[in-house]
Structure 1
Amino acid sequence: MILSPQDNDRRENSPPLQGRGRGWGLSAEYLALLHKRAADMRRNPTEPEKRLWRVLSNGQLDGHKFRRQAVVGRFIADFACAQKALIVEVDGDTHDAGKDRLRDDILAGHGFRVLRVTNYEVMTNLEGVFRAIRISLDQASLRWARPHPNPSPEGEGLEGTMPSIGASSNSKADHA
């Protein structure tokens, strides 16, 4: 039986870290649950999330692309700019500071910086929140300018490994 790439990624009998794209060392079942929950959250945003999304969507912030309710590790980030590895979290009244600190530390381990703003700040001072996000983006270096922490074991993408034009080769790239 031939599986689509999405079906293949959700095989329950495969180890979580096997293969590329399986995601963050999480089981395929748990990762699918996170993506479903994130989609539900995108369909039902809070009012502060709606307001902030209006100014972050479509590259309105100096061309930076944000995704809302993005799965990052085992968490769902309110807004994430992958290019600058910046996560913006909009916190309500019920957030636990200790859990937030632990979450921020784990996300930092994945290379992300977290900027937290409150619902109140978004609702009453959207321009100030916008400025704080712009400053954080300006301070962040490009994520892809840094070397990847887990380079490909096959050495793909390393400079000087591509055969010269016209040379015979049986590399994976030739069969893609």
Structure 2
Amino acid sequence: MTTEQRRFARRLRAQATEPEDIVWGLLRNRRLDGLKFRRQVPLLGYTVDFLCVERRLIVEIDGRQHNWERDYDTTRTQEIERHGCTLLRFSNAQVRDDRDAVVAAIRQAVG
């Protein structure tokens, strides 16, 4: 991991969106079934929103810009999954409107 990747991840943590803050509130301090999640983690040249190393699970929160970046997101997801990780994506609206469904989907992925 380069110094620039660390700086970028740090900047993302400081400028978190409301949906990212909501999810972080659900995952931080082992609040979800005792699982340790980290946020804005450099991984394979990308920065992922939330990572549980123990379960090789990545949780991504997608804002509007992801509608225009579908090809990039697809390539990124495929590369991450080739390395044995599971990647879940939730839209900002899903996080705001149905937190219980987000938590249920994460639990199912680690179950």
Instruction: Answer whether TM exceeds 0.5 for this pair.
Output: yes
4+ aligned runs moved over 2 Å, structure 1: none
User: Which among 46, 49, 60 is matched to residue 20 of structure 2?
Assistant: 49
User: Which among 75, 78, 83 is matched to residue 49 of structure 2?
Assistant: 78
SS in 1 for 2:26: helix
Q: Would you say how many aligned residue pairs link Structure 1 and Structure 2?
A: 109
Paired with 2:5 and 2:110, the residues of 1 have a C-alpha distance of 26
Match of 2:99 in 1: 126
SS in 2 for 1:45: coil
The alpha carbon displacement at 1:98 in A equals 1.3
Extract unaligned runs of 5+ from structure 1. 1-22, 24-30, 139-176
SS in 2 for 1:79: strand
Match of 1:135 in 2: 108
Paired with 2:11 and 2:83, the residues of 1 have a C-alpha distance of 24
Per residue, is there more strand in 1 or in 2? 2
Paired with 1:116 and 1:134, the residues of 2 have a C-alpha distance of 14
- Listed as ranges, the matches of 1:11-160 within 5 Å are 23=1, 31-95=2-66, 96-138=69-111
The alpha carbon displacement at 1:110 in A equals 2.1
> In structure 2, what residue type is equivalent to 1:56?
L
Per residue, is there more helix in 1 or in 2? 2
> In structure 2, what residue type is equivalent to 1:54?
G
Counting aligned pairs with the same residue, the percent is 36
Extract unaligned runs of 5+ from structure 2. none
The alpha carbon displacement at 1:105 in A equals 1.0
Question: Taking structure 2 as the reference length, what is the TM-score of the superposition?
Answer: 0.94
User: 1:143-173: CA deviations, max 9, x gaps?
Assistant: xxxxxxxxxxxxxxxxxxxxxxxxxxxxxxx
